[in-house]
Amino acid sequence: MEDIGIEFMRKTRYPDFSTVDMIRRVPQPPAELPVADGARVTRLPDPKSVKIRDVTVRDAIEGMKQVCYFSRSSLTLGELSFLLWCTQGVREAEPDQQAIRNVPSSGSRFPIETYFVAGEVEGLPTGLYRYLPLSHSIVTVREASDLPFEMGTASMNFKVVTRAAVTFLWVGIPYRSTWALGNRGYRSVLIEAGQICQALIFAAACIGSEVHAIDLFHDEYMVKLADLDPDTQWPVYVAAVGQTERDL
């Protein structure tokens, strides 16, 4: 049997226009998952109003480390807004065109949905939320005080995640990319998740927080936690944000 990695690379070579639905004039998928009827949507503060530290790119890179623990800490809703905008926020949006965001995306397809568990975010009940980049809002998926513990178990990083102010779960919607790029789009999903996490690391440095990136987790647990469709919605990357020391 062929190595799965070699098979993946061979079957995602570009161009393979036989796998591109865009050329076959199949309607493109929506840029965001729909919001359920009756779901609570919260408009986030303007990220430009958030006071941030003067951190150089060099300082952010040299200060980056894989932390193993967090102290008890919290984020303001403004700081959360800043992190979400830096990682998935829309800079320009024209009618009938793909929006320009703060991270690169192959073919401007933006196949990643951002979910997060708010553990200690001022003004937000503990729960699971999803970011809506086109309106810079969040929608409540589920409120529950034990969600940080569920996320800790699912991510196999119990102590770090349960003490995090917020833990992000990036979910790939592959068809957004494969619609335009064919099978090559599967690579784009994974690449973009890494770019988003790197943006989070830089953004977190600007508010005095650190990031614990997690690529090993129980896929089935994550699917259940976020109520995902395992065939079309794939958990691909997790990152916990917090502080190793409290600011004095």
The answer to whether 163 and 242 have CB atoms below 8 angstroms apart is yes
Q: HSE (CB half, 13 Å, CA atoms) of 104? A: 6
In sequence order, what are the residues at sequence separation of 6 or more whose Cβ sits closer than 8 angstroms to the Cβ of residue 113?
A: 32, 33, 130, 131, 170, 171, 172, 173, 233
- Assigned domain for 36 exists: no
- Assigned domain for 180 exists: yes
The answer to whether 85 and 150 have CB atoms below 8 angstroms apart is no
- Assigned domain for 8 exists: no
Strand order in the sheet with 137-143: 41-43, 137-143, 127-132, 112-118, 166-172, 234-242, 210-214
| pLDDT by residue, tens only, the chain of 248 residues | 679 999 999 999 988 888 899 999 999 999 999 999 999 999 999 999 999 999 998 999 998 887 888 988 899 999 999 999 999 999 877 666 677 899 999 999 999 999 999 999 999 999 999 999 999 999 999 999 999 999 999 998 888 999 999 999 999 999 999 999 999 999 999 999 999 999 999 999 999 999 999 999 999 999 999 999 999 999 999 999 999 875 43
Cα 227 from chain centroid (whole Å):
16
- Assigned domain for 13 exists: no
Query: Where in the sequence is the domain holding 62, given as residue range(s)?
Result: 51-168+175-242
Number of domains in the chain: 1
0.85 surpassed by pTM: yes
- Assigned domain for 85 exists: yes
Alpha helices (H) along 69-184: 77-88, 147-155, 158-163, 174-181
User: 143 has which bridge partners?
Assistant: 127
- Assigned domain for 157 exists: yes
Residue among 39, 83, 63 nearest 200 (CA): 83
CA distance 140 to 148: 15
The answer to whether 163 and 69 have CB atoms below 8 angstroms apart is yes
- Assigned domain for 82 exists: yes
Residue among 148, 165, 154, 155 nearest 70 (CA): 165
Helix (H) or strand (E) holding 237: strand 234-242
- Assigned domain for 12 exists: no
CATH number, position 77:
3.40.109.10
